[in-house]
Amino acid sequence: MQTHEISKRFTEYFVANDHTKVASASLILEDPNLLFVNAGMVQFKPYFLGDAPAPYPRATSVQKCVRTGDIDEVGKTTRHNTFFQMAGNFSFGDYFKAGAIEHAWTLLTNSVADGGYGFDPDRLWATVYNDDDEALELWQKIAGLPLDRIQRRGGEDNYWDMGVPGPGGPCSEIYYDRGPEHGVDGGPEADEDRYLEIWNLVFMQDERGDLSPKKGHPPVGSLPRKNIDTGMGIERVAYLLQGVDNVYETDLVRPVISKAEEMSGRRYGAGNAVDDVRFRVIADHARSGMMIIADGVTPGNEARGYVLRRLLRRIVRSVRLLGVQEPVLGEFAKVVRDTMSPSYPDLASDFARIESVMRKEEETFLATLVSGSKIFDLAADKIKAEGRAMLPGDQAFQLHDTYGFPIDLTLEMAAEKGLSVDENGFRELMAQQRARAKADAASRKTGHGDQSVYRDLLSLGGTEFTGYTDLASESVIRGLVRDGKRVSAAAEGDIVEVVLDRTPLYAESGGQESDAGTITGEGVEMEVLDVQKIARKLWVHQVRVLSGEATEGQHVEATVDQEWRIGARQGHSGTHVVHAALRQVLGPTALQSGSYNKPGYLRLDFAWSGGLSEETKSEIEEVSNLAVRKDLPVRVVYTDMGGAQEMGAVALFGETYDEQVRVVEIGGPWSRELCGGTHVEHSSQIGPITLLGESSVGSGSRRLEAYVGMDAMRYLAKERALVQNLATMLKVPDVEVPARVEALIERLRGAEKELEKLRAGQLLASAGTLVDQAQDLDGTALVALKVPDGVGGNDLRSLASEVRNRLGSRPGVVALFSVVDGKVAFVVATTSTARDNGLAAGKLVPSFASAIDARGGGKPDLAQGGGANADGIGEAVNALRRALGGS
């Protein structure tokens, strides 16, 4: 049975049993605990937690997942994969253990003709949580499993949670006995290679705290309702039903290996275990990398981008170790597209962009690999020649920081040469470099806070948003919240959260800032500071009470600041226009990957490598303003996701959409995006759009910034005033300002060069005076002193060399010190006769280094460096004098 058919049968079975079919969520969701979606239940987490009411009592999905913890094990075994598909059925307070067990058993054991998978019931086993007698009895009653094919297991095996505070519960797993040729008797407890887990049924009833029940710690509470979360591994079922030994030989994975065989001339499974590992790495990472790119990630050096870069670079290196030198990622991308697109059509429709990202990363890495490998080989050969066995951490860090080598690549290359790597030293240097980024990540990586106060308010129904048509709404205060707790009233000066039954105030989302405005009622006035959405259904207004007292149940009027809304609409519609212009100029692969807009301002991040030329930026700006001048109509269409895709609407990466989606069109198909923001009615209402600049925000990602409306006019007015002031000062017409400024700069550069020549000449002319100050120390002439401040770098080295030359054939040592920007710069130079006497410049540095807190070194004839303690120069001179035999 083909993999696509396995997915189809799963979905069809559960839809026929009253489950709502839900599309796979993006691999990128706004969850601070996850880099990637790693389980089928992630998109349903708010329903399990009770943070939002489930829109359906039952659901089914086939969720794409990526787990990155086992990247290093991929290829070494046939069990570890980074990308996989998890088929699941979910119950939100509807059926529980009995229903979950019955559905799983029926689908697995029903005949193929009856829509099932046709597994032999006599080869299926079940496991249950230690004290879950109910599940054990249900397996006997519903499935007819004998007691000797049901095993009790502890929390590590049969308790499920996400590894962070959140939902969890005991689980029951279904295993398939592959037969005695695959291992020993005794069920899953004895051998999980022979007895392969294919389905996990989680009876989700608990809320775990910081400590997991998997480790024996009690849950912190119960979920509001008992739920079911099950997961069937599509790939595992595929290789059982296809009669192969592992996932790498199934219909969707083996073609990638076949392509690698074709390109390399080597064969998978031919007895070369090292090659087999490489083939498996290629197959796994090609699928994972392409699926991650499809959801909007680009290679980079942080977080998701780093994982993606690591996957793609491991493919390239594995292929090169198979003997293939030419670029390969584009070819593997075509294979993944052809095999996976029946289930994921965007792999075909968005292929040009995906392939472009992969090709550019490969080009970058191939250049990196050539230069970095030479550096590594030189370092490794030197280490082995010196009889050592470990690559120092600072060299591993240099390979990462300068040449872009991920540490795992350095580890692999070192292992191939029989060396280890000082990982602790490497990671210490990485920690120093990334301290701020890591601190930021740590501050955001939190569990699920106590949101029970909002659950209670959600039970009264979501907030009705009226802001698409109205700027003011009569409302009722449903709840007041301070410090996470309900309060009955708020007095003047208090800052509290207000939940209304209806509101015209836009809550921050989709890159758009929340509205400013007021909430007023009899005897009370509140200023709205911020508006956020809880569970996408509840509008929470943070307010400052300006006067009076607010109480629950009070009738109020919520009003949007009209000027703010005008600017906000301009900013958001302007973002759509610039995005459409960007795609028109650069092509359809230049997709928005993030945005932020507020009244008068927008910024837009997009997937692109390399900066934009001034001509390109001007063209984008012109296309944007032409769209404004054309007064294009703005239309809003409500439809389902399928309808939006048929319209060609652009969905933004990482966004989560409801069953009904809102499509915003500007000029019909020219700009058509899924969007919940507030917009103008005609493009001319946006006003002028002025690009401020374009910059990099990471590898493969660029950012455009612009002003719109009156802010654009004010910006242009300032620019005009600046040019006019310059024209007045330079006494030339406005149009001649650039040429005159350029001419002045050239004159200034010429003058600076002449001054530099004069200064250098004067400096070298002082060499004779310095030689006259030489001290004779036991036959060696020593010139050691502090020269004027500000002489550093090349100048100090040139002066030291000139003094050395003037010492002629005498044994001599020259040590010159200077203070530059509060730090010490020094150069030590030796004559050839001094070197013949064993005086090497580089070896003299340690004699005085501690006095000036110095770093540096060099060759026997010349050494240079810097120090932090300028007050120690005198002591450094004395220390060098003592080292040469002076007093």
Which residues lie below 8 Å from residue 317, measured CB to CB, with a gap of 6+? 369, 409, 412
The pLDDT assigned to 416 comes to 84
**707: nearest Cα among 586, 550, 787, 599:** 599
CATH node for 771-883: 3.10.310.40
All structural domains of the chain with their residue ranges: 3-249, 254-444, 452-560, 565-717, 771-883
* Residue 827 vs residues 381, 773, 795, 824: alpha-carbon distances, Å: 31, 17, 10, 10
**Candidate from 296-310, 504-518, 545-559 with smallest mean pLDDT:** 296-310
Q: 294-307 in b/e burial notation, b at 16+ Cβ within 10 A?
A: bbbbbbbeeebbbb
Secondary structure letter of residue 761 according to DSSP: H
The pLDDT assigned to 449 comes to 44
State the burial class of residue 48 (Cβ atoms within 10 Å of its Cβ: 0-12, 13-18, 19+): buried
CA pair distance 849, 312, nearest whole angstrom: 45
What amino acid is encoded at 751 in this protein? A
Q: Which two tokens stand for residue 300?
A: 């980079």
197-213 mean pLDDT: 92
Residue 433 scores a pLDDT above 80: no
What pLDDT, in 10s, does the model give residues 839-874? Answer: 999 999 999 999 999 876 688 999 999 999 999 999
CA pair distance 734, 142, nearest whole angstrom: 88
CA pair distance 159, 150, nearest whole angstrom: 16
| Full strand arrangement of the beta sheet holding 660-666 | 634-640, 660-666, 671-674
Q: Which two tokens stand for residue 506?
A: 């836009």
Question: 240-246 long-range contacts, Cβ below 8 Å, gap at least 24?
Answer: 240/119, 240/176, 240/178, 240/196, 240/198, 241/1, 241/6, 241/117, 241/118, 242/1, 242/2, 245/78, 246/78, 246/79
CA pair distance 456, 450, nearest whole angstrom: 12
Selecting from 2.40.30.130, 2.160.20.60, 3.30.930.10, 3.40.47.10, what CATH number does the domain 452-560 have? 2.40.30.130
CB atoms closer than 10 angstroms to residue 631: 11
CA pair distance 642, 23, nearest whole angstrom: 10
Contact criterion met (CB below 8 Å) for 24 and 62: yes
Write down the architecture of domain 565-717 according to CATH: 2-Layer Sandwich (3.30)
CATH node for 3-249: 3.30.930.10
What pLDDT, in 10s, does the model give residues 172-195? Answer: 999 999 999 999 999 999 999 899
The pLDDT assigned to 438 comes to 40
| DSSP H helical ranges for 265-389 | 273-294, 303-321, 329-340, 346-349, 351-385
The continuous run of DSSP H or E covering 629 comes out as: helix 614-629
Q: Which two tokens stand for residue 407?
A: 């540490």
The pLDDT assigned to 442 comes to 39
Torsion angle in degrees (nearest 10) through CA of 446, 447, 450, 456: 120
pTM above 0.75, yes or no: no
CA pair distance 246, 549, nearest whole angstrom: 67
The pLDDT assigned to 436 comes to 42
Instruction: Pick out the residues of the known binding site.
Output: 572, 576, 675, 679
What pLDDT, in 10s, does the model give residues 684-732? Answer: 999 999 999 999 887 678 999 999 999 999 999 999 999 899 999 999 9
CA pair distance 133, 299, nearest whole angstrom: 49
pLDDT band at 446 (very low <50, low <70, confident <90, very high): very low
CB atoms closer than 10 angstroms to residue 72: 12
**pLDDT over 90 for what percent of the chain?**
63
**pLDDT over 70 for what percent of the chain?**
95
Q: Do strands 390-391 and 420-421 pair parallel, antiparallel, or not at all (unpaired)? A: parallel
Instruction: Pick out the residues of the known binding site for Zn(2+).
Output: 572, 576, 675, 679
| Helix (H/G/I), strand (E/B), else coil: 202 | strand
* List of E strands, 337-494: 390-391, 420-421, 464-465, 472-482, 485-487, 489-491
pLDDT band at 831 (very low <50, low <70, confident <90, very high): very high
Contact criterion met (CB below 8 Å) for 488 and 551: yes
| Helix (H/G/I), strand (E/B), else coil: 774 | coil
Backbone angles phi, psi at 808, to 5 degrees: 65, -130
Mean pLDDT of the chain: 89
pLDDT band at 430 (very low <50, low <70, confident <90, very high): confident
CA angle 360, 363, 364 (to 5 degrees): 90
pLDDT band at 400 (very low <50, low <70, confident <90, very high): confident
CB atoms closer than 10 angstroms to residue 475: 26
Query: What is the number of alpha carbons within 13 Å of residue 541 lying toward its C-beta?
Result: 32
Secondary structure letter of residue 74 according to DSSP: B
Residue 556 scores a pLDDT above 80: yes
Which residues make beta-bridge pairs with 480? 487, 498
The pLDDT assigned to 653 comes to 60
CA pair distance 259, 458, nearest whole angstrom: 53
What pLDDT, in 10s, does the model give residues 744-771? Answer: 999 999 888 888 777 767 777 788 888 8
What amino acid is encoded at 448 in this protein? H
First CA to last CA across the chain, in angstroms?
91
CB atoms closer than 10 angstroms to residue 120: 10
CA pair distance 566, 600, nearest whole angstrom: 9
161-169 mean pLDDT: 82
pLDDT band at 200 (very low <50, low <70, confident <90, very high): very high
Which residues lie below 8 Å from residue 556, measured CB to CB, with a gap of 6+? 474, 475, 476, 477, 500, 519, 520, 521, 524, 550
**Candidate from 394-398, 507-511, 558-562 with smallest mean pLDDT:** 394-398
**864: nearest Cα among 879, 874, 849:** 849
State the burial class of residue 374 (Cβ atoms within 10 Å of its Cβ: 0-12, 13-18, 19+): exposed
Q: Do strands 58-66 and 20-21 pair parallel, antiparallel, or not at all (unpaired)? A: parallel
Q: Which two tokens stand for residue 15?
A: 């839809």
Contact criterion met (CB below 8 Å) for 199 and 230: yes
Q: Which two tokens stand for residue 165?
A: 């505070």
CA-based R_g, the chain, Å? 35
Contact criterion met (CB below 8 Å) for 700 and 304: no
* Residue 543 vs residues 478, 531, 637: alpha-carbon distances, Å: 15, 9, 33
